[in-house]
Amino acid sequence: MAPIWRVGIDIGGTFTDVVASDLAGGAVRAAKVPSVPGDPVTALVAALAAVGLTWDGVAELVHGTTMVTNAIGESRFSKTALVATEGFTDTLDIGRMSRDNLYRLDLLPKAPALVPPALRFPVAERMLHDGSVDLALTEAEADRIADAVAASGAESVAVCLLHAYRNPAHEILLGERLARRVPRVALSHRISPEQREYERMNTTVLSAAVMRRVQDYLGRIGERRPEGSRFHFFHSAGGMAAIGSVADHPLMLAMSGPAAGVAASARIAAQIRDEIGTDRALTFDMGGTTTDVCLVVDGAAQVRSDHRLGRYRIRLPILAVESIGAGGGSIARLDSGALLVGPQSAGAAPGPACYGRGGADATVSDADLILGYLEPGRRLGNALTLDLTRAEAAVQPIAEGAGVSVAEAALGIARVTHANMVRALRRITVERGVDGRSCPLIAFGGAGPMHAVEVARAYGIRTVVVPALSSGFSALGCVSARMRYGRQQTVGMASDGWDPTAACAARDAIIDELTTELRNAEGTTGVELTVEVVASLRYRGQSDAIEIADPSLGDAERLGTAFRARHDALYGFSTDEPWELAALRVAVSGPEQASVTPAVETRAAPEGTRRCVFEEGGVIDTVCLNRAALAPGDWRQGPAIIEDEWSTIVVPPRERFRVDGFGHVHIEVAQVDGAQVEGASA
């Protein structure tokens, strides 16, 4: 039978990863190529070539990307206008009454508004909180606004009217008029149909601001994509979406690449559940630019609605990934005598100094090379050769400024990096009432397995798992993805005025809309769909809500019992006072894809040694092992360096490790006396 290739490609800030699976024969190929800043389509084609394929021979390609995240982080936006209800155009300036940097009075209290006052257009209309019309929008007013926006030269326009999530009639009329005059229009009731005016407006404006960039990229893909080859994006809520959906909702790609790695981790956690003895896990994805962490519970990654993209608050259902600017390319520097690492990154060009591409700043990768974790002169794939001399030259100024040796400065860079990562893990566990010490750490990405054990020890975690294909794990998540669309919408129904018919109708309307959208996507004809429903409940007056899966919307008493039990479990108390259904989140998914697991093939390989510097133990001659030579079996004692073509696992002196039947490396972390996470709760 001829091969039927399904390919996952994740384009990161530094490298592009690819995993190809032959659906007919079961073969798996993987590779990594440098990313091409400014030309991701070229990186796609190069990735296919790296696994011996051309696009013509690919049945389906699933793509993860950091394009939107990078555009927001670097403020690369189109000229965007805002249309808002008269009296509410300054919502972007007012925001939430809090400072981004509480004790830095020399900094702006919050991010500058995304739209300048000259591009904000107040419209005479008004909806009330229940969706009734207080001031009707006339056609003449809609035309006046459309003409004014067109005359401003805006490339995109965001429309966010008061309470449009309840009644979108005015937004629909404005959208029709604007679409005739402005190339791109984003309507808040389509982008984020929820309460919280500031977050809804920010989300809609960000969507409009990156829409041109995303649509231009989709156009370039359309020009290169062969006829008959399906193409999907991996989106931020943990599934794949068709090109048409992404064009209208570009923030679906806001955490695309990291979400793919988390999805693959959830599969791994389920695969080895009996072995690790828990249904929870922490994901640890350290790439060239950022480190992304997430909590997996009951085989599923956690989803939340409130996020920050760069300095901007948005409200969309996205996997609860915590991202920090600490990757292999993160730049280290001294600031008033303090050693800082990130969030600035050397990126793919020029990259860390040790890559020999013109980078001169000290980075985490340079420190790793100096410490012996990476082999000097090593050829990474067919692209890069690691240069120890350049790495030492980059770190030398930091060493001189701190009055220490180059090796000590490199160890300091590693320690600061690990501290940053522990804080990120704390935010996704302790702050959600989970004791992260009971969760294994699933480490992947190009640099994750090098730093995972020290991070785990500092946090108090006892087990680290480095999965097979760890260096291209986000691409593995892409190739294993299933079609999935989701939406969250405000409901606002009180328990003492419960209407089961209306509650069920609100749920069914969202399901119908998502089902239609999914059925219109390529490759979904005739497939069986699954539906997931989550209710967000809260007591009156509360800001935050508690999520209840599979809610009994037709039985308010039963739903209230579930809510109070969950509230008691999280906060230690519950009351009989009235509560409300704040919002419903619905996801409609296609069938699960078959797991893509590379065959575990062991082959003899010589063992070597090199001198490494560890946080505990100092300088030690360390055995270097080829990962392909490790057969499933007994535990071995560290220290050890385990390498494959693109990634390195560092096992410090006190730890031991083994390989399981799937090719995953399990590391048992020895704990320092008293190691714990301050504030962790059981």
Q: What is the pLDDT of residue 603?
A: 62
User: Are 101 and 50 in the same domain?
Assistant: no
Domain shared by 531 and 634, yes or no: no
Do 82 and 208 lie in one domain? The reply is yes
In order, the DSSP letters of 337-377 are TEEEEEEEE-TTTT--GGGTSS--S-BHHHHHHHTTSS-TT
- What per-residue string of b and e applies to 455-474 under the rule 16 or more CB within 10 Å gives b? bbbbbbbbbbbbbbbbbbbb
Higher pLDDT, 63 or 97: 63
Q: Residues 518, 483: contact at Cβ < 8 Å?
A: yes
Residue 220's domain comprises: 5-72+216-232
Q: How far apart are CA 556 and CA 368, in angstroms?
A: 57
Q: Which of 591, 585, 595, 522 is nearest to 237 (CA)?
A: 585
Concatenating the DSSP letter of every residue in 260-329 gives HHHHHHHHHHHHTHHHHT-SEEEEEEE-SS-EEEEEEETTEE-EEEEEEETTEEEEEEEE--EEES-STT
Specify whether 98 is located in the same domain as 16: no
pTM as predicted:
0.82
pLDDT of amino acid 382: 60
Do residues 49 and 153 both lie within one domain? no
Closest by Cα among 244, 219, 256, 348 to 10: 256
**pLDDT score for 673:** 46
Whether 125 contacts 153, CB under 8 Å:
no
Looking at the DSSP assignment, which residues form a beta bridge with residue 315? 306
- Residue 444 pLDDT exceeds 60: yes
> Average of pLDDT values for 110-118?
86
Helix, strand or coil, per DSSP, at residue 60: strand
What CA–CA distance (Å, rounded) separates 478 from 263?
Answer: 8
Q: Could you tell me if 67 and 150 lie in one domain?
A: no
Q: Which of 129-138, 277-286, 414-423, 553-562 is predicted with the least confidence, judged by mean pLDDT? A: 277-286
Classify residue 373: in a domain, yes or no: yes
Q: What is the mean pLDDT of the chain?
A: 86
Domains in the chain, number: 5
pLDDT at 348: 64
Reply yes or no on whether the pLDDT at 548 is more than 80.
yes
More confident residue, 314 or 144: 144
Residue 217 vs residue 75, higher pLDDT = 217
Tokens 């119908």 sit on residue: 512
Give 463-517 pLDDT, tens digit per residue.
999 998 888 888 888 888 888 888 899 999 999 999 999 999 999 999 999 998 8
525 by Cβ neighbours in 10 Å (0-12 / 13-18 / 19+) ranks as exposed
Identify whether 440 is part of a domain. no
Domain-embedded: residue 155? yes
276 in a domain, yes or no?
A: no
Encode pLDDT of 174-186 as tens digits.
Answer: 999 999 999 999 9
Give the closest residue to 472 by CA, choosing from 8, 44, 35, 42.
8
pLDDT digits (tens, 9 = 90+) for 612-626: 999 888 899 999 998
Question: Which residue, of 392, 416, 440, is where some domain finishes?
Answer: 416
Sign (positive/negative) of CA torsion 271, 482, 447, 250?
negative
Give tens-digit pLDDT for 561-584.
999 999 988 888 999 999 999 999
| The domain boundary residue, chosen from 212, 240, 259 | 212
Instruction: Tell me the pLDDT band of 529, cut-offs 50, 70 and 90.
Output: confident
- The residue among 155, 180, 212 that closes a domain is 212
Q: Over 90: is that where the pLDDT of 152 sits? A: yes
Alpha carbon 645 to chain centroid, angstroms = 25
Answer yes or no: do 399 and 334 share one domain: yes
Mean pLDDT across 350-368: 89
In this structure, is residue 272 part of a structural domain?
no
Q: Is 102 exposed, middle or buried (0-12, 13-18, 19+ CB in 10 A)?
A: exposed
44 inside domain: yes
Work out the pLDDT band at 653, boundaries 50, 70, 90: very high
**pLDDT tens digits for range 594-611:** 667 665 566 666 678 899
Q: What is the mean pLDDT of residues 542-561?
A: 91
Shared domain check, 148 and 92: yes
Look at residue 242 and tell me whether its pLDDT is greater than 50: yes
Tell me: do 99 and 62 sit in the same domain: no
Q: How confident is the model at residue 680 (pLDDT cuts 50, 70, 90)?
A: very low
Most confident residue range from 300-304, 373-377, 381-385:
373-377
Residue 167: per-residue pLDDT? 93
Question: Which is more confident, 592 or 135?
Answer: 135
Residue 546's φ and ψ, nearest 5 degrees, are: -105, 135
Q: Which residues of 16-41 are buried (b: 16+ CB within 10 A; e: fewer)?
A: bbbbbbbbeeeebbbbbbbbbeeebe
Q: Are residues 641 and 540 in the same domain?
A: no
> Are residues 368 and 387 located together in one domain of the fold?
yes
Q: Please report whether residue 312 resides in a domain.
A: no
Q: Are residues 188 and 225 in the same domain?
A: no
The verdict on residue 256 lying in a domain is no
CATH number of residue 61's parent domain: 3.30.420.40
